[in-house]
Amino acid sequence: MYRTWPQRPLTAHQHPNIISPLATFRAADLSTGTCTNVDNVAVLPTTSVVDFRQYWQELRSCSDSRHTDRAVCLTLARLLSAALSLHELGSPTPRLVPRCVIMTVLLTGESYPLLRPSSRDPSGADNSETIVDDVAELVAIMLQLNISDCGNGMHRRKSDTSLRRSNSVEVALAISPESSYSRCLQHVVRYLCQKDGSLWDAGLRQALQLLQFTLWGPSEEEAQIIAVSDSCDAALHVWLSVTRCRLLAELAVTEGAATASQNGLELAERATFLSLATENSLLEVTKLLFT
């Protein structure tokens, strides 16, 4: 049982990427394939739990870089969303470090990160500074970066070592911008390193918007054209209307066909993004990424 939650416990409907601190299991439950009587806990016999570092080492060794870079963006978006949810609930400021994250993997290959609530000493280090290092470390582990100052520039190779604060900026430099997803990760790390003020109120939300835009917004080519267009608002309005109609068409077909190409959680995340997006919010992120 986790005992790091001094305030309100989570319910099953609050966030899918947070482990309930009240979760307990009995051996008999593990063979039933049913849910326990504890909120936010489901016993799934076909799900395996993998150490965070181990999962990303294995994924990068057997997957192409573009697929993996997208998985990194999706995982980081889910973890930032989970951390912001905990923050909004008034919990102790969560840490986004490997020991607080586990990867759950289904037999279908779908994977989900789960964030364990953790507490910080409010009299300790500046939380807004620490979160930058936390995010940089997660990105470096997922991309399997090794940050070393060796005189001839940064080198990219596999490593399990933790990052020091001085290496947060160097993480962005070490990312190879080979895809729209890796370029987004560069923007996220750089933005958090440069952000002044409270990262929890603005910085992490903006970083999350960058990730969501890259995952479910206009393609990079579309966004670049929109960014330099004289009628950005009109172009984004058209894109948003057409994309919402396509999503409704997907949801109108039979359930099996609708979710055949992607898992249910990502479909819900994309629907939430499109329902909340506005021309102004999309334009803000477009300019930040491409101008």
- The pLDDT tens digits of the residues spanning 71-125 come to 999 999 999 999 988 888 776 767 888 988 989 888 777 889 999 876 554 444 5
Position with higher pLDDT, 4 vs 58: 58
Q: Quick one: pLDDT at residue 263?
A: 67
**Model confidence band, residue 214 (pLDDT cutoffs 50, 70, 90):** very high
pTM metric for this prediction: 0.79
Query: What is the mean pLDDT of the segment spanning 221-244?
Result: 87
Residue 187, classed as helix, strand or coil, is helix
The whole-number pLDDT of residue 146 equals 77
* Out of 143-152, 228-237, 248-257, least confident range: 143-152
Average pLDDT over residues 269-278: 92
User: How high is the pLDDT of residue 68?
Assistant: 92
Q: Residue 108's pLDDT is what?
A: 75
Q: Is the dihedral of CA 114, 142, 48, 26 positive or negative?
A: negative
Is residue 136 within 8 Å of residue 163, measured between CB atoms? yes
Of the candidates 93, 112, 79, the residue with the CA atom closest to the CA atom of residue 207: 79
Q: Using one digit for the tens of pLDDT, what is the confidence trace for 95-105?
A: 888 988 989 88
What size, in residues, is the chain? 291
Of 16-30, 190-204, 244-258, the range with the lowest mean pLDDT is 16-30
DSSP state, residue 261:
S
Starting at the edge strand that comes first in sequence, how are the strands of the sheet with 111-115 ordered? 47-51, 101-106, 111-115
∠ CA 165-139-176 to the nearest 5 degrees? 105
Query: Which domains, from first to last, does the chain contain?
Result: 46-215 (1.10.510), 217-291 (no CATH)
Q: Name the 3-class secondary structure at 104.
A: strand
Mean pLDDT of the chain: 76
pLDDT in tens, 142-175: 999 876 543 333 444 444 434 444 577 889 889 9
